[in-house]
Amino acid sequence: MEIIHRPPFTIHHFATLGSTNDYLKAQADASEFTCVVADEQTAGRGRHTRTWVSPPGEGLYLSVLLRPEATANLSLLSLLAALAVAETLAQYNVAGLDIKWPNDVLIAERKVCGILVEGASSGANEVRIIVGIGVNLNQQNFPPELAETATSLALHLGHTVAVDVFRDRLLMQLAHWYAQWRHGVGQSILVRWQQLSSYAHGQQVVVTLDGEQVEGVTMGLSKDGSLLVQTEDGELHTMLAGEVSRLRKGL
């Protein structure tokens, strides 16, 4: 294991780990801004108990520990992480960047990054949040089950990128947006997120949550980062969670 200092972050870099989120979760004494990165994950996890395919050197697999105040509005954190990734990708001048609510980053409608925000057990008045970020950087192909829906940065640039350079750029973006959030400028996160996401306004979507579906048109984000969806009967639904799919006219 190698320690790399990138203030405010301290990076613990491993050749291989099961899951960077699981490793960091087990470090009860880790301080805020501890960052765990692995070249490869053998048990990378996605949301909804899915696997996050993490072959060596092809993606960035990173987890960051945040220790915000217990009273803070935590729901903005996952939007913040997606925003930081999207802005990092934008530095590579890639076309077709998008964010699907709440935190899937897409290139040309395919997923290039997934984010898994998890709480870790802690004492009273103490919150430990692990923000796990997986970015597909250099993959040239994906397993059959992902072939239609996943993409990598390299596939769009036509050349590979240095994982550690991307990592450091991303950490700078994370530090910037986290500072905004800590200083109570959560509004700027919402504004920027909505600029970068085609899903924010006027999209015909269906949101699935616990087997129930809400179909309607997106009307932006509420103050806490929920997605507002207006159904045909004019009712405004505030979605704090759920899986969003875009509906195209005629489908």
Binding site for ligand BTN (CB under 6 A): 19-21, 41, 44-47, 50, 52, 61-63, 114-116, 132-134
Nearer to ligand BTN, 42 or 91 (CB): 42
With beta carbons less than 8 A apart as the criterion, state whether 115 and 44 touch: no
DSSP string for residues in 5-70: EETTEEEEEEEEES-HHHHHHT-TTPPTTEEEEEEEESS-B-GGG-B----TTTEEEEEEEE---T
Provide, rounded to whole angstroms, the least separation between the CB of residue 159 and ligand BTN. Answer: 23
CB of 191 to ligand BTN, least distance (A): 24
Nearer to ligand BTN, 61 or 199 (CB): 61
Q: How far is the CB of 235 from ligand BTN (least distance, A)?
A: 29
Question: Between residues 6 and 111, which has the closer beta carbon with respect to ligand BTN?
Answer: 111
What residues does 78 pair with on adjacent strands?
A: none
Between CA 33 and CA 46 the distance in angstroms is 22
38, 132 Cβ separation under 8 angstroms: no
Based on CB atoms, which residue is closest to ligand BTN, 103 or 216? Answer: 103
Beta strands 97-100 and 104-107 are antiparallel
Closest alpha carbon to 96 in 86, 87, 110, 108 = 108
Nearest approach, Cβ of residue 150 and ligand BTN (Å): 10
218 phi-psi bin (left φ>0, alpha ψ -120 to 50, beta other): beta
Max Cα-Cα span within the chain: 57
**Which residues fall within 8 angstroms of residue 179, CB to CB, at 6 or more apart?**
none
The residue at minimum Cβ distance from ligand BTN is 114
The least distance separating ligand BTN from the CB of residue 130, rounded to whole angstroms, comes to: 8
Q: Least distance to ligand BTN from the beta carbon of 17, Å?
A: 8
Which residue number, 32 or 40, has a Cβ lying nearer to ligand BTN? 40
Cis bond before residue 144 (omega within 30° of 0): no
Q: Which is nearer to ligand BTN, 156 or 167 (CB)?
A: 167
